[in-house]
Amino acid sequence: MSRVDELEKENFDLRQLLEIGKSLNSTLEYNRLIDAILHTCLAQMRVLQAGVFVRREADHAELILNRDYIGFELDHSIPYTIPPNHPLRQQLIDRVDCYTPEELNAAIPAESPDCGLSHMPYQLVVPLVARSDLQGIIVLGRRIDDTEFTADERRYALDMGGLAAIAVYNAYLFDRATIDSLTRLKQRHVLEERMLQLFKHHGEQEQEQEQEPKQTPDPDSLSFLMLDVDYFKPVNDTYGHKFGDDVLRRIAEIVVQYTRPVDIAARYGGEEFVVMLPNLDAEGGAEVAERIRRAVEENRFCHGDKELNITVSIGVAEYTPTLDQLPGDLMARADEAMYEAKSSGRNRVVVARDNRQSD
């Protein structure tokens, strides 16, 4: 290859890496980022198998094989986990480089704990190092043409890993800033910001309706749930805050299970949760709330050999332009409906008075 050809190839690789960096850093949503990393590896490195070890959550130290790996046939009884004190991690930080299985086996002590890599038919490990720390590793498997990685390809993979590491680190920071560490739901401010955006969208639609009433469809519906755990303080006082935290985590899981990806669930504070339901009116919101209420009631909350009956009260309000000038107005009406559910016996769903079909 002539020097001109080499320079042209270097220039092409740099342009590719620039595009990869822009693509990976265009999202801070964790699952979408992992998916982008994996598919970038398939395309750029011409492999049939790819996986990523990353933290399950921002405050976890272990690196775990993300479930969205591609192509590998794995034994699911094996924990594919790299603990924080594993020699592999220090090796990849001290000498940031790509490693074949043979090179990795020679670099780390033979008595090192099994982290699952030996059960993956990989051809190359690519470290994700940013801020002087290992953010994860990419595991590349069999290539399309069954060839080995050249020195140039390994350097390219390492550069790509550096870009992926920065994107993963940024996603961790975003996760810390927007996710409630106990329940893994959104923090309250995230939901409020999204509500402001939707209120602005609805306001613009209403203005268009006034100007062109025959050509513009009705604004999309929007309903809001306010959920509170019944008699939660006695649970905390009697069984301890650790059990109370377990209850809140389980209820958060139920909320996520019975809502859609487009919905936004957040921890409002203490034992209160809120859910924003785009494109659902009060009737649809009440149906979602009832499914959540019933699932919590039927769940087994156990403290030792004692089973507790945990229930929730839920208020539902639908966005109404004449009543809801700000997100706080809608939230207040859902809150009022929730307190009506409390005062009328708890463990029930109540729709805000202004949104009831008949009172």
* 7 to 1, 13, 17, 32: CA distances (angstroms): 10, 10, 15, 34
Q: Taking a C-beta distance cutoff of 8 angstroms, is the pair 46, 143 a contact?
A: yes
The tokens for 188 are 């309250």
**Alpha carbon separation from 65 to 69, 127, 209 (Å, rounded):** 8, 14, 50
Query: Residue 132, Cα to own-chain centre: how many angstroms?
Result: 25
Angle at 254 between CA 332 and CA 311, to 5 degrees: 65
The residue whose two tokens read 């859910």 is 275
User: What are the b/e assignments for 47-58, b being 16+ CB within 10 Å?
Assistant: bebbbbbbbeeb
Q: Which of 111, 206, 271, 290 is catalytic?
A: 271
Tokens of 296: 């919590």
CA 117, 120, 124, 130 torsion-angle sign: negative
Active site residue 271: yes
What is the 8-class DSSP label of residue 99? B
Catalytic residues, by residue number, are: 271
